[in-house]
Amino acid sequence: MDSSLYKKTEEFVVNAFKKANKPTDVFHAQRTAYWIKELKPDADISLLISGLAHDIERAFYGDWKKGSSNPKDLEKHQNLSALEIEKFLQKENVDKNIIERVKMLIAHHEEGGNEDQNILCDADCLAYFEEKALRNAKEYKQEGKEEEMKKKLKYVFSRISSLKAKQIVQKWYKEALQELDL
């Protein structure tokens, strides 16, 4: 793995989210990369960069999709993130094959597809449940939107393809559901 490229990408992602005042997105990006390593210890640099940068468009365009699961919104989100990381990687003179692979992975991180797209999707879902699910459940409950949040949790859980990831996420999924039922 090219650790200097990974570090430069992480710095780019961290700085972009800090500038956009989105500190939880920094943690989510880092945890997504962490979960990729847990699910696929021999993950290549393209997959790891994709984990860091899969939501990077939020740093530049804001959270315009607001958790939407609308396929057109998800496609736009994926494509904007792929475009932003492509610009960064081009400035860094990264090999075109790596850039194309990163774009292909990020362009399918919401629904998966091939083995590595599924790993990225699973890692994204793991990071969501680990850090955001309970917090979101509390917020939705305060707003009286428990049923909407239950649908969101079910949707994110349904995106997970690997048994290992489903087993890991169970405790966080249950915690969030319990919060909604209190």
CB 52 within 8 A of CB 10: yes
Q: Rounded distance, CA 44 to CA 12, Å?
A: 19
The pLDDT of residue 138 is 95
Q: Rounded distance, CA 138 to CA 4, Å?
A: 39
Pick the CATH number of 3-181 from 1.10.246, 1.10.3210, 2.60.40, 1.10.287: 1.10.3210
Give the mean pLDDT of 94-108: 97
The pLDDT of residue 149 is 94
Give the mean pLDDT of 61-85: 84
Q: Is the pLDDT of residue 65 over 70?
A: no
Q: Is the pLDDT of residue 67 over 70?
A: no
pLDDT band at 41 (very low <50, low <70, confident <90, very high): very high
Q: Of 67, 68, 3, nearest to 33 (Cα)?
A: 3
pLDDT band at 31 (very low <50, low <70, confident <90, very high): very high
Give the mean pLDDT of 123-131: 96
Q: Which two tokens stand for residue 157?
A: 């859980």
The pLDDT of residue 1 is 57
pLDDT band at 147 (very low <50, low <70, confident <90, very high): very high
The pLDDT of residue 44 is 97
pTM of the model: 0.94
Give the mean pLDDT of 68-79: 87
Task: Tell me the average pLDDT of the chain.
Answer: 94
Q: Is the pLDDT of residue 68 over 90?
A: no
